[in-house]
Structure 1
Amino acid sequence: MSAVHLSQADGIATLQLDNPAKLNAFTPSMLDDLARHLEVIDADPRIVAVKLTSVGDRAFCAGADIAAWSGYAPDEFARIWVRTGHRVFDRLARLSKPTIAVLQAHAFGGGLELAAACDIRVIAPQATIALPETHIGIVPGWSGTQRLSRLLPEPALREMALFGRRIDAARAFSFGFVAEVADDADGSANGIADKLKETSPRATEIAKYMINAAVNEDAAAMIEALGSGMIAASADRAEGVASFTQKRKPKFDGR
């Protein structure tokens, strides 16, 4: 049974982590489930926004399940576990739909890295964020020192990654890392998602591509996606395809 659920209602997709007994910590199968759901979401034109939530009030996500990776040999840990998580989280960051992480409770390690891969974050007042990896002899592996360096002030990132300090909701909001602090974080996220129904899905998608290119979130792919979209709408592209199909020389007119 999947521990990452996908549901959809009125244009809003919800991804829900469901491993509360282990504070929603990721297992290999959960990474696989998330990756599969992201492909479904990206291909569905009915979806205008995505919420990322989890079950329970103890943790949004406590990172990676230690039991899932502790048995890996060093080369397997880097090649299989770290690279797989990176690939899935990168896929989330580059999703064409706007994404909202709902931090109803603590986001630690990989859970914080997961939230960082979303476009915006809403947090409950009692929730905290942290990178506790050094306390168990490892380092952040799913973009905690990379993507987070764009989203948090360097001193705060050093506090978490080097000293293991937690940052509370109010301070995270002061940094701009979270969009809102709300007692009902899920309800707040719903309100944000509903507003997207008033915007152009295509304009939102292109705006996201442009921002991703600017912050070097797979900039090469974003730039080529933008350029390819422009050329796909041109008369020259239509003429090129027609001439190839008809086995004749194209007559381009620059439109």
Structure 2
Amino acid sequence: MSAVHLQIAGGIAMLRLDNPARLNAFTPAMLEQLVAHCDRLDRDGAARAVLLVAEGPRAFCAGADIGAWAGIPPAEFARLWVRGGHRIFDRLARLPMPTVAVIQAHAFGGGLELAAACDLRVMAPGATIALPETQVGIVPGWSGTQRLARLIPEPLLKEMALFGRRVSAERALAAGFVAEVAEDPLAAAQAIAGKLLETSPRATEVAKYMIHAAVGEDRDAMIEALGSGMIAASADKAEGVAAFAAKRKPVFPGT
């Protein structure tokens, strides 16, 4: 049974975690469902924006389900669980359309790392964020010490990762990690996403690629995507393809 759902309406996609009994903690099946939905979003191009939401009043996402990883041998833990989680969260981060995490309740560990993979975050006033991994003898494994280090100040990250302290929505807003704190974070996120319907889809996508290249989010792929997109619109590319199909020497116009 799926615990991650995707709905698209009016150009806005809703990517929803639906495992509230387990505080939306990730299982291997949920991770695979998430990446499958990301592949669909990238492939069909029907959405202008993606809202990442979660069911239940207690947690946006409590991270990875301890029962899913506690018994994994060390080598497999590093290779399958940690690297696999990175692959899937990176897939979310690199969607071409903007993404907004709607943090209606607490986001801990992998749940915080999931929210960090989105472009913007909106939090409810009573929600908190935390990296509690050291309390169970592990360390953040899905970019909590890497992507988060680009998004929040080092002292605040150390406060969470080393000391296990929870950070309020207000402090997250002051640190720039959160775009808005709202009593109804979903409505606030929908208003933000709605503005995208007034913008150029292609310009928004390219702007996201440019920013990702600047901050090191898959820089190599972003640079090549920008260059390839530019050359694909050129007369030279059209002439090269036509010449190949006609089995003749191309005459490039240089435009």
Q: TM-score range by the shorter chain?
A: over 0.9
Partner Cα distance (1:115, 1:28) in 2: 18
Aligned-CA RMSD value = 0.5
What residue number does 1:50 align with? 50
Give a deviation string over 1:65-121, Cα, whole Å, max 9, x none. Answer: 000001100001001100110000001111101000000000000000000000000
Give a deviation string over 1:126-153, Cα, whole Å, max 9, x none. Answer: 0000000000000000000000000010
What residue number does 1:117 align with? 117
- CA displacement at 1:44 relative to structure 2: 2.1
What residue number does 1:242 align with? 242
What residue number does 2:205 align with? 205
Count of matched residue positions in the alignment of Structure 1 and Structure 2: 255
What residue number does 1:132 align with? 132
What residue number does 2:105 align with? 105
What residue number does 2:87 align with? 87
What residue number does 2:225 align with? 225
Letter in 1 for 2:200: S
SS in 2 for 1:97: coil
What residue number does 2:176 align with? 176
* TM-score, normalised by the number of residues in structure 2: 0.99
Gaps of 5+ in 1: none
> For structure 1, which segment, 43-52 or 154-163, has the greater mean C-alpha deviation from structure 2 after superposition?
43-52
Within 5 Å, give how 1:187-206 maps onto structure 2: 187-206=187-206
What residue number does 2:145 align with? 145
What residue number does 2:21 align with? 21
SS in 1 for 2:67: helix
* TM-score, normalised by the number of residues in structure 1: 0.99
Partner Cα distance (2:93, 2:85) in 1: 12
Give a deviation string over 1:34-72, Cα, whole Å, max 9, x none. Answer: 000001011222210000000001000000000000110
Partner Cα distance (2:27, 2:237) in 1: 45
SS in 1 for 2:197: helix
Give a deviation string over 1:160-195, Cα, whole Å, max 9, x none. Answer: 000000000000000010000000000000100111
- CA displacement at 1:9 relative to structure 2: 1.0
Gaps of 5+ in 2: none
The answer to whether 1:36 aligns with 2:75 is no
Partner Cα distance (1:77, 1:132) in 2: 18
What residue number does 2:154 align with? 154
SS in 2 for 1:43: helix
Partner Cα distance (1:251, 1:79) in 2: 49
